[in-house]
Amino acid sequence: MDPHGENEGRLCLGALSNVHRTEASEKARIHIGRGVELTAHADGNISITSNCKIFVRSGYLDYTHGSEYSSKAHRFTPNESSFTVFDIRWAYMQMLRRSRSSNEAVRAQAAAVAGYAPMSVMPAIMPDSGVDRMRRDFCTIAISFVKAWGDVYQRKTIKETPCWIEVTLHRPLQILDQLLKNSSQFGSS
């Protein structure tokens, strides 16, 4: 919480003003201590270490735990060893799968509308294949401090927790952008 601390290379969110900060937010911030440390590894993966209780929304964690994407907050207790919250190879393969599936469905729908294929053989467009959904599932990590959210908690969304952040990962966004550019080039030829 001290923006003038001795630790270079750290971002202090306490220095940012927030007119919506509540008393509950201030109480949660007291328990954060030194916060979390996100480490970007040379292989493109990202790990996290924390000295406070955190809850993490991560598509990669959902995948490794067999959960539906963005369906739960993964709980981690203070001082657990560092754990991977993002895997770049996994994200690339998932983005590729979703964009291909979506492109195939769009082509089949266009063929059916044009009369080249019956509507009954048209594949369904994946409900989770949109760009915004892929950005959320594969290019962001959300972290709530101290309090959880989800179906089994009083707070249903992360925005209802007193103190949270969302981290956008730039390299996965670049990969998603490139995949979408390539798929639109193939779709127009």
> What domains appear along the chain, each with residue ranges and CATH number?
23-186 (2.60.200.10)
Q: What is the mean pLDDT of residues 56-60?
A: 93
Lowest mean pLDDT among 36-50, 55-69, 70-84, 163-177: 70-84
Query: Is 59 within 8 Å of 91 (Cβ atoms)?
Result: yes
Judge if pTM exceeds 0.85: no
Please choose, from the candidates 141, 174, 178, the residue with its C-alpha nearest in 3D space to the C-alpha of residue 158: 141
CA 2 vs. chain centroid, Å, equals 27
- Rg, Å, the chain Cα set: 20
* Position 61 pLDDT exceeds 50: yes
